[in-house]
Amino acid sequence: MSPYRPSEIEPKWQQKWSDARVAEIDVAAPGDKLYMLNMFPYPSGDLHVGHGRNYILGDALYRYFRMQGRAALNPMGWDAFGLPAENAAIKRGIHPRQWTMSNIVREKKQFQRWGILYDWSKEIASCHPGYYKWNQWLFLKLYERGLAYRGTAPVNWCPEDKTVLANEQVVDGKCERCGAVVEQKELAQWFLKITDYADRLDAGLDKLENWPDKVKTMQRNWIGRSVGCDIEFEVPTLGRSIRVFTTRPDTIYGATFMVVAPEHPIVADLIADHPDRAGLEAWINGVRNQSSLERQEAGKEGRFTGKHARNPFTNELIPIWLGNFVLMQYGTGAIMAVPAHDQRDFEFARQYGLPMRIVITKGGELPDVSAMTEAYTVKDESAVAVDSDIITGLAAPKAIDRICGEVEKRRIGKRMIRYRLRDWLISRQRYWGTPIPMIYCDRCGLVPVPEKDLPVELPLDVPFTGREGNPLAKHDAFVNVKCPQCRGAARRETDTMDTFVDSSWYYARFISPRDDTKIFDTKMVNRWLPVDQYIGGIEHAILHLLYARFICRVLHDLGLTEVEEPFTRLFNQGMITKEGYRDPSQNNSWVPLNEVEMRGGKAFRGPTELVPEVGKMSKSRFNVVPPDELIERYGADTERVYTLFIAPPEKEAAWSDEGVVGAYRFLGRVWNMGEQILSSVLGPRSSDGNGAGDIERVIRKMHRTIDAVTRRFDRFEFNTAISALMELSNTIGEYMAAGGRDARLRDAFTVLLQLLHPFAPHLTEEMWAMFAKKGFILTSAWPIADESLMQEDFVTIVVQVNGKLRGQIEVPNPPEEGVVMAAVQSNEKIQTWVAGKKVVKTIYVPGKLVNVVVR
């Protein structure tokens, strides 16, 4: 008998799987297709156990589906363009390509060491010209359809990364990547017209039944669909009108002033003859130069323009104000202010002493305010009621409809659906990305690169200085080209694409990854898409997942696929956190783990007690757990089992070095059990009928475990699936310890191996091989539970009266009513009361409680 030595068995099986290409699949072969996909990673170098959780989870699921006989596809690739590669080039003088490629090699090795099976024949890397060529092709198609355009707009500029960013990449006014405060700049940039798809992207969410509600809510909020009405307010002294958007046109009788965004084009005219024009302009410029963050922190501020507009429903002339809380980017950049029915308008009105009017809609009574804001409930003294004329007596939905109808009849506006979503800014002033295939010609203007000239290859011979400006712009051979139309001298676009373009369609490329002639094979893509199970982090709830849904619809509209939604089922795994330490005497800087000394359960560096802090693993906090050492000592199977056992997979989980030992011990016990069973002489039928030594008990437990683990796989409850396997292993262990030697023990154990296989593939393969050597033929198919064997044959009925033990009896399962009654054996008149289908029963005797507990 040899002890469990994962370091000896694991590399052997990894090599075998790799040599036999077990995960390679022919997409054209028949079968019950299942497309599994983990979000492809950015190859940043070292993967830690937190990344491991994500891929191990996917692998366990993939192996489970394989065992069930599904034709499962599980490909992997690399989201290989991006800033860190370029930063490494600037910092360390390594070319981004070289840096990226060497990281890919390392990460691929790591996947193998985790025992993860991918179909490497379909590997893709977005930085490969064979891939990004189709990025460029897709861009040209978008351009042809008017879905890619060059426009000037105030955009987000990250001063740290020296590039513009998409709105989705700005979090709380800061750069999502580096945390620098984002500035606003007016620049000409490339946009993709995602707003054209806002309605479909919003409506499509309803059909995604197997997506987490949280992600759907986040997308819905981000798209921000609002149903309302545009209404013109005439400015008599200018002979023009100002258009506003409102979702509550029924409150228009209470509109006592207007507020216009300081950036609104009409502002120049509004203040042209203002006595303090200079002062107003200074104020406007002040607001303009604020970042969105500063603007919000400043609170509500405004200035009166001196002009008035006519409320089209009350005919009253109302003052026009400028206000910092009105945003040019949303709606029309102007609002009608109804202070009695809107919180923001209320605050503004109160601050500047503007009038308030309560709109009465229901027969002289106060309106239904449930959908209105605090402003109304405050009942400001100055608020007076106003007659609501044509909507008097109507409930809000009807009143809204009536006003909209009137507005349209009078041709002063129309019903409108507006979105918060803005177009996707895809140009980046950085080198390591897909070149945008466009050419600027002085005579012909914007000229797309002809399809036959694709790919526009990224030149490799550029210097990396870190100074402002894209290094591509200094590469003369790249920049200076002939115009494809007039053959005259022209300049190439030097911006590259946002890397989220690369990842917006990669799931389709896996189906025909080497095809030079087209973006993908439509017939095969229609067979394999959508992805049945997509796995990745919640950080992509909006970014990647929204873009992918958008581009998938574009591909559909181009006639390239039949699918609209790329991912049927989505799972977001939780992060793994780990304790790190900060030194309060050193400005709370992070302390490397090798300088931390544990004394009495507390952490010290020299005499200073350190402050522990649990958080996401990152190099700067020195709390990264690298898998290498762990795998060497305990094996990949241990890491796999521990990682999935630690917590429900969607939850955040704290890494504990001690906890790993538990998983290791469990696998060690399984190993020893297998060895013992192999070397024992098992008899044909040696059930001695009771307690731990009863083989029937083991068999019943086995069937219950098959059932439990199968159900838990389908519900992503890996932690309890593993605990069920530990229970089965304990039951088998007890049977063996009690001296049981029935041959069916081997069946129970091999089922344990099968159920354990997705979690600990190396150990189980090794054991299977050992069994095979002794002549036992095993199958690697997923076992099926026999329901008739899941229940206990006999149960013990324990009768308690008022909590006191009255009697105990063993009866066949399920117990009959009469048997239960007999067990109670009391003189009292008894009513039986049976709850649900459970075998637990309570008998109620007036004044007493009789609990019949079935064990």
**Are the C-beta atoms of 128 and 432 separated by less than 8 Å?**
no
836 is an interface residue for RNA by CB under 7 A:
yes
For RNA, which residue of 228, 566, 627, 815 counts as binding (CB under 7 A)?
228
Shortest Å, Cβ 77 to RNA: 27
Q: Which stretch binds RNA (CB under 7 A): 49-57, 78-86, 521-529, 644-652?
A: 644-652
Q: Determine, following the binding rule CB under 7 A, whether residue 153 of this chain makes contact with RNA.
A: no
Question: From the CB of 418, what's the least distance to RNA, in Å?
Answer: 6
Q: Which residues pair with 851 in a beta bridge?
A: 800, 842
Can you tell me the distance from the alpha carbon of 347 to that of 340, in angstroms, rounded to the nearest whole number?
10
Q: How far is the CB of 255 from RNA (least distance, A)?
A: 9
Give the residue with the Cβ less far from RNA, 201 or 481: 201
Name which position in 68, 184, 226, 485 contacts RNA (CB under 7 A): 226
- Rg of the chain, C-alpha, whole Å: 34
Contacts of 188 by beta carbon, 8 Å cutoff, 6+ apart: 150, 151, 152
Shortest separation between residue 278's beta carbon and RNA, angstroms:
24
x/- track of binding to RNA for residues 382-421 (CB under 7 A): ------------------------------------x-x-
Cα separation, 383 vs 356, in Å, equals: 4
Cα separations in angstroms, 31 against 71, 72, 77, 85, 304 = 5, 9, 24, 41, 71
Task: Specify the residue, 97 or 422, whose C-beta has the smaller distance to RNA.
Answer: 422
Of 452-460, 501-509, 553-561, 841-849: span binding RNA (CB under 7 A): 841-849
Give the span between the Cα atoms of 190 and 140, in whole angstroms. Answer: 12
CA within 13 Å, CB half, 628:
7
Name the residue among 138, 189, 198 with its Cα closest to residue 166: 189
- Asked if 330 touches RNA (CB under 7 A), the answer is yes
Smallest separation (angstroms) from RNA to the CB of 855? 4
Tell me the closest approach of the beta carbon of residue 569 to RNA, in angstroms: 19
The number of angstroms, rounded, from the C-alpha of 83 to the middle of its chain's C-alpha atoms is 22
Shorter beta-carbon distance to RNA: residue 305 or 429: 305
* Site for RNA, residues 776 to 815, rule: CB under 7 A: 803-804
Q: Tokens for 253?
A: 């009788």
Q: Does 730 bind RNA (CB under 7 A)?
A: yes
Structural tokens at position 681: 């002489």
254 binding RNA? (CB under 7 A)? no
Question: Binding RNA by CB under 7 A: which of 326, 404, 436, 644?
Answer: 326
Is residue 78 classed as helix, strand or coil in its secondary structure? strand
- Compare residues 296 and 588 and give the one whose CB is closer to RNA: 296
* Binders in 289-308 for RNA, by CB under 7 A: 295-296, 298-300
- Nearer to RNA by Cβ, of 293 and 473: the residue is 293
Q: Does 855 bind RNA (CB under 7 A)?
A: yes
Shortest Å, Cβ 61 to RNA:
17
Residues 529-568 that bind RNA (CB under 7 A): 542
Write phi, then psi, for 338 (nearest 5 degrees): -120, 80
Contact 796, 808 (CB under 8 A): yes
Outline where 611-759 has alpha helix (H): 627-634, 636-645, 657-679, 695-714, 718-737, 744-756
831 near RNA (CB under 7 A): no
Encoded amino acid at 463, one letter: P
Q: Which of 142, 335, 407, 551 binds RNA (CB under 7 A)?
A: 335
Q: Please pick, from the candidates 187, 317, 327, 770, the single residue that binds RNA as defined by CB under 7 A.
A: 327
Residues 684-723 that bind RNA (CB under 7 A): 717, 719-720, 722-723
- Cβ 147 to RNA shortest distance, Å: 22
Minimum CB separation of residue 6 from RNA in Å reads 13
Q: Which is nearer to RNA, 321 or 510 (CB)?
A: 321
Q: Is 218 in the site for RNA (CB under 7 A)?
A: yes
Q: How far apart are the first and last CA of the chain?
A: 39
Closer CB to RNA, residue 53 or residue 475? 53
Q: What is the nearest approach in angstroms of RNA to the Cβ of residue 840? A: 3
Distance CA 770, CA 776 (A): 9
Q: Smallest distance from the beta carbon of 765 to RNA, in angstroms?
A: 22
What is the rounded distance in angstroms from the CA atom of residue 138 to the CA atom of residue 543? 19
Residues from 341 through 360 that contact RNA (CB under 7 A) = 342, 344
Stretch that binds RNA, among 201-209, 243-251, 274-282, 453-461 (CB under 7 A): 243-251
CB of 537 to RNA, least distance (A): 11
Q: Does 618 bind RNA (CB under 7 A)?
A: no
Give the angle subtended at the CA of 619 by the CAs of 618 and 620, to the nearest 5°: 90
For residue 565, count other CB atoms closer than 10 A to its CB. Answer: 19
Closest contact distance (angstroms) between CB of 303 and RNA is 14
How far, CA to CA in Å, does 728 sit from each of 360, 700, 705, 755, 756? Answer: 70, 10, 7, 10, 11
Q: Is 851 in the site for RNA (CB under 7 A)?
A: yes
Q: Please, which of residues 651-690 interact with RNA by CB under 7 A?
A: 651-654, 656, 658-659, 661-666, 668-669
CA dist., res. 673 & res. 667, Å (int): 10
637 binds RNA (CB under 7 A): no
Residue 471 has phi, psi (to 5 degrees) of -60, -25
Q: Could you tell me whether strands 240-246 and 148-158 are parallel, antiparallel, or unpaired per DSSP bridges?
A: unpaired
Residues near 318 by Cβ (< 8 Å), separated by ≥ 6?
233, 255, 256, 257, 258, 308, 309, 310, 311
CA angle 111, 114, 116 (to 5 degrees): 65
Site for RNA in 47-106 (CB under 7 A): none
Which is closer to RNA, CB of 332 or CB of 561?
Answer: 332
String of contacts with RNA for each residue 178-217, x by CB under 7 A? -----------------------------------xx--x
286 is an interface residue for RNA by CB under 7 A: no
Which CB, 146 or 397, lies closer to RNA? Answer: 397
Question: Is residue 779 packed enough to be buried (19+ CB in 10 Å), middle (13-18) or exposed (0-12)?
Answer: exposed
Closer to RNA at the Cβ: 829 or 837?
837
The amino acid at residue 114 is: W
Tell me if 198 sits within 8 A of 225, measured CB to CB.
yes
CB nearer RNA, residue 18 or residue 217: 217
| Helix, coil or strand: residue 343 | helix
Q: Which of 40, 42, 131, 245 binds RNA (CB under 7 A)?
A: 245
Size of the site for RNA (CB under 7 A): 80
Task: Write out the binding residues for RNA, residues 455-484 only, by CB under 7 A.
Answer: none
643: contact with RNA by CB under 7 A: no
C-alpha 350/C-alpha 181 separation (Å) is 32
Q: What six digits make up the tokens of 525? A: 């893509």
Residue in the structure block whose two tokens are 């008035």: 308
Our CB check for RNA shows the closer of 177 and 418 to be 418
Alpha-carbon distance of 498 to 393, in angstroms, equals 54
Assess contact for 160 and 175: CB atoms under 8 A. yes
Interaction with RNA in 585-604: which residues (CB under 7 A)? none
